[in-house]
Structure 1
Amino acid sequence: MVLLKNRLPKRLWKVLEFTTTQIMMIAVVGPFFFVFFYMFWNSLKPDYLFFEPGTWIFEPMWSNYTDVIENSDLFANIVNSLIISGTATLIGLFCGLLTSYTVTRFNMRKLVMGILLTRMIPYITALVPFWIVYKYLGLLNTHVGIILAHLVITIPFGVWIMLGFIEDIPRELEEAAWIDGASRTEAFWRIVVPLSAPGMIATAILCFIFSWNNFMLALVLGGFDVATAPVSVYKYADPEAGGSGQMMAAATMVTIPVFFIVLAIQKQLTAGLTSGGVKG
């Protein structure tokens, strides 16, 4: 690569580099936009055209959206998802920050390895034990129960991502604060936390997305009583619930909140992902 760069003119190399970057970006992002467009397009189709993929010209049916809004609990389910995902994200981020600091400053690698090993176990294998314990404790069909289950996802992920950011913060900054009379706790909150803010934002967004998109835990432990947004979409899998068009409309509406959240803080997310690294 370096040899090719030296042989090509500088302007030609910049054009080649820009073109390659754009092609790679389209290759990565393109499928996601295609899926969203296909989902939105099918949400406007009448049900009798849903299974005719070659049909591109038809009269859009916005009634699918009005029916979902008027005849379902979709917005209440979205609020449930915001509460559950937001709480699980905050707890996972807080635990990830403290654990990462402990591991890097006190050389406790075995602790982080133990936490990360839990991610190697498919959480679906714990659904039956979860359900039995929750039934005994009375946590089935409750917000608290689903939040606790989502911590199995957010805490290990928060530790894994934040570990690289905390390692990048020089210990000399904390030592200088100690010399000035600050305690370890004061140095942590006044130096480590502000410097790791970009990483915290990136970690929070990724944890929120993973929690928001989780379907199986919410379905088994919460059911339709405390339904989250993905479970709300699943209701339309029943033909009597409204048809395929309404299912696509509900799926589109569920995707929009996360899309706008990421769009609103994309600069902070990009800065966080590029300023730190994941180190083992």
Structure 2
Amino acid sequence: MKSEKIVMATKIKQYMLNAYYWLMFVIVTLVFFIILPLFIFISIAFLKRKLDSALRRGIVVYGWILVTIVPFFAPVEVDSRAEKLPFPAIIVANHSSAVDPFLFGTLLIDAGFIATWPFKIPVYGMLMRLAGYVSANDGWEKVCRKSVSVLESGASLIIWPEGHRSRDGRLGRFRNGAFTLAVKTGFPILPVCIIGSGEFLPPGRRLMVPNRIKLVLLDPLYPDVRANQEEEIIKLRKKAKAVIQKALEESTKPMAIIPVMNSLEEVKNVNSCRKCF
């Protein structure tokens, strides 16, 4: 009976945390859209930025607010393991959750995305196009042309080399797009390992589970533009996947702050472990 009450209390706490977060998410989003025109006006009129750059920076601030002022139940940690971070860069990261794009707000850098499904969302998709974000459905030539334009404007470009979210948390096959772009343009690859977001909100789940989330910034990879292009693309792809995989393997310890137990059996297991201490 006591164990059942623990499960019920944990579930209630989870629902309350989710209700709080979504309420704050709606409030922050509404405020963002209200002040966005003023932010863009100041950026263009006084800071001499172009519309796409001003809008990207506004979206970055929006993401930063969501992951710091309205945290995902725990602060998002940034672990930079690189001696020097080159910007602009082509940022490649593993992808396990719908919250992953927001996490890059913690870096506070001018950056665009190559994505697919967000362009289908009314209003949001329009903002993405105005911000210079690149739709992966536009065809390679158009994607390449837009990507080069973003990079040459001084903004970084964030790409999910797996092409979609991982369903089981394991690293999937990396595609060549980001690495082809690096070899053709000479811009460096910055591998980023996202840890914990898959447990926080994995694909198919509606309720968020309190969990620590970390962004690990790894050593940049510089393409050799004089080498054989096909060989260099494969080399960069394999190296980027290897360093991200290594960072994932190094984070094997559970990172959850508040354990959410979904069954009576899990509660019994926890109680039996406590008796051992």
The higher radius of gyration belongs to: 1
Q: What TM bracket, shorter-length normalisation?
A: under 0.3
Structure having the higher helix fraction is 1
Superposition TM-score, scaled by structure 2 size: 0.27
Structure having the higher strand fraction is 2
Superposition TM-score, scaled by structure 1 size: 0.27
